Structure 1
Amino acid sequence: DPVVTKGFEDVKNTYTTALLAYTFSLAKDTDTQQQLFKKLEDVAISDRSHLHWSQSGSAGDSDSLAVEISSYVLLAVLTTDSVSTADLGFANRIVSWLVKQQNAYGGFSSTQDTVVALQALSLYATKVTVTVQSAGDTHHFDVNQDNKLLYQEKQLQNVPAKYSIEVKGSTCVSVQFYNIPTATEAKTLSIDAKIEGDCKKTFGQDLLLNFTVK
């Protein structure tokens, strides 16, 4: 439709473009979806294996809105009847950027971008098993349709050590390691000072000042 095409040309807002791309992906309108993808590719921020979008177009912009826009693009890419190898490669670059924005608890900057991002990332995982193992420590994580939105974590007991990761399945998952310092007991500094000598004399007196630091 020429009118619709002209309308898309007038859309300059990256957030709106990403949301429309996802909407037409859900509607199975491939032609319109591809038009919107072309607009998104023109404003994409590419950094080797990472790919994302932001409202400002700045490569250093990794705020909540950038996470949400990139998540809608990822949803649009994956919401098709048949995802090609090229689509998965494109999606993988978006996922690589998204997981770098996650905090230690699996969330993002806000509630809204966390919901959209986790929905997009969940399409990347349907049924997969992840095994994290060292010489004396083994952990298994099962990701399936029922728990794909659940953030799973386990504490590594054997640290420091070399760990291997084995993934079995037909989709992709995100595995992250965090070093979260444990709270330590607060310690205070105590200094005792003692003076040896007669400090009442005005001149010619040697004084010795001793410090004890605890």
Structure 2
Amino acid sequence: MVSKALQCLQKSSNTTDIYTQALLAYSFGLAGDMQLWSALLDSLAQYSTSSGGQLHWERKVKPLPGTESFWAQALSAEVEMTAYVLLAYLSPPKEATADLATASQIVRWLSKQQNPYGGFASTQDTVVALQALAKYAALTYSASGDMTVTVKSRGSFQQEFHVDNSNRLVLQQATLPEIPGEYTVTTRGQGCALVQLTLRYNLPPKSATTFDLRVETDPKECTGNARVHFSLILHARYSGGRSATNMAILEVKLPSGYLPDKKSVRKLEDKGLVKKLELSADEVILYLDQLTKEERTFTFIVEQDFPVENLKPATVRLYDYYETGEHTEAEYSAPCSSAPSTEKGNSR
């Protein structure tokens, strides 16, 4: 089975897509096919971006300005892609064949993209990047090492951090007294340490329209049995700079006191409209293979579980799983949200 899978991948090895090349290089490295592994890495080297002793890979088509996560140094897709290239360099079965010189340049770039909490722009790129960094750390591990890192300002500030085998995994930190300010970092001894400057401040998220999302209810007004059940209709399409999204996620919150009709939701999956779905008491999450410029409609039934007065609007969130900066939200109200109820309950 593995042999047939590799044969199938070999037929795709002439692709020019950088992300796919990175995945293939990693796969053939793990499989021990050094000829294809080397050819793919040679091809990837042509698309690399190098500066200041750092190496990374960028996507050919950028999202619209303002759609990237405001806390991220680099786009999620580029972090993930670069991490896969690093894994490819480190993947051959024999450690001696790993190109640690090139890998160290990639590690420098990846380390600079980490946010203050050690992660990256999204869950997906964080998982892959940490896997790659961990593999590099395992290959370069040495039981010996004793060093001191000194941070100085132009004024009187000076802080020393001692790193040895007993505390090499312990986070050491200090508050810089002057921001803005000029600081120097010096080291003495032997070993490896990551020094990161973290600025903690609040900024409003950047926004740009990359999705069109409309939410309707049927019926729209509080007529007939609308209090007991109604249909929720979601209209969604991609309007960003690419031809289509990666996997897209629709997170649908339900009004208080309402539950999704499981049978009607699962019909979306049966018809192939939805790749995967998750149901809970107050939320429906739809996983879509992708969204294009063509509008797609998703409809399911919502049923009342218990009556609630003065219902607040519920929200629907739509975003690209790999480019979380591309997102939008919409609100909707149950048809009978403002109508008086015969019973009292908790408000949302």
| Same structural fold, with TM-score higher than 0.5 when normalized by the shorter chain | yes
* CA deviation map 1:102-157 (0-9, x unaligned): 1122211011111111111122322455533469744334579xx99x6x432326
| Equivalent residue runs for 1:70-89 within 5 Å | 70-80=82-92, 81-83=94-96, 87-89=99-101
Whether the aligned pair in 2 keeps the contact of 1:137 and 1:157 (CA below 8 Å) is: no
The Cα shift of 1:162 comes to 6.1
The residue number in structure 2 matching 1:8 is 13
Matches within 5 A, 1:78-157: 78-80=90-92, 81-83=94-96, 87-125=99-137, 126-127=141-142, 130-133=147-150, 137-142=159-164, 152-156=170-174
Map of 1:54 onto structure 2: 58
Asked which structure has the greater RCO (Cα within 8 Å, sep 6+), the reply is: 2
How far apart, in 1, do the equivalents of 2:91 and 2:196 lie?
Answer: 25
Distance 1:100 1:26, change over 3 A: same
After TM superposition, the score normalised by the length of structure 2 is 0.41
Q: 1:14 to 1:49 in 2, by over 3 A?
A: same
What's the TM-score once normalised by structure 1's chain length? Answer: 0.63
Is the Cα contact below 8 Å between 1:136 and 1:158 reproduced in 2?
no
Root-mean-square deviation (CA, aligned residues, Å) is: 3.7
Q: 1:124, 1:173 within 8 Å by CA — same for their partners in 2?
A: no
Equivalent residue runs for 1:155-170 within 5 Å: 155-156=173-174, 164-166=186-188, 168-169=190-191
Query: CA–CA distance in 2 between the matches of 1:28 and 1:167?
Result: 38
2:247 is aligned to none
**Distance (Å, rounded) in 1 between the aligned partners of 2:48 and 2:185:** 35
Paired residues of 1:44 and 1:53 also in contact (CA < 8 A): yes
Match of 1:185 in 2: none
Does 1:39 pair with 2:43? Answer: yes
Letter in 2 for 1:70: T
Aligned equivalent of 1:177:
197
Cα offset for 1:75? 1.0
Note the residue ranges of structure 2 that are not aligned, 5 or more in a row. 1-5, 69-73, 152-156, 202-348
Bigger proportion of residues as helix:
1
| Residues 143 and 17 (structure 1), Cα distance of their counterparts in 2 relative to 1, 3 Å cut | farther
Q: Percentage identity across aligned positions?
A: 39
Deviation string 1:29-74 (CA, Å, 9 cap, x unpaired) is 211101111221122223342221123266x993101000100111
Distance 2:187 2:130 in 1: 22
Match in the other structure for 1:209: none
SS at match of 2:82: helix
Higher strand share: 2
In the alignment, which of 23, 40, 55 is matched to residue 19 of structure 1? 23
Task: Say yes or no: does 1:30 pair with 2:50.
Answer: no
Shift of 1:179: 4.5
The count of corresponding residues between Structure 1 and Structure 2 is 173
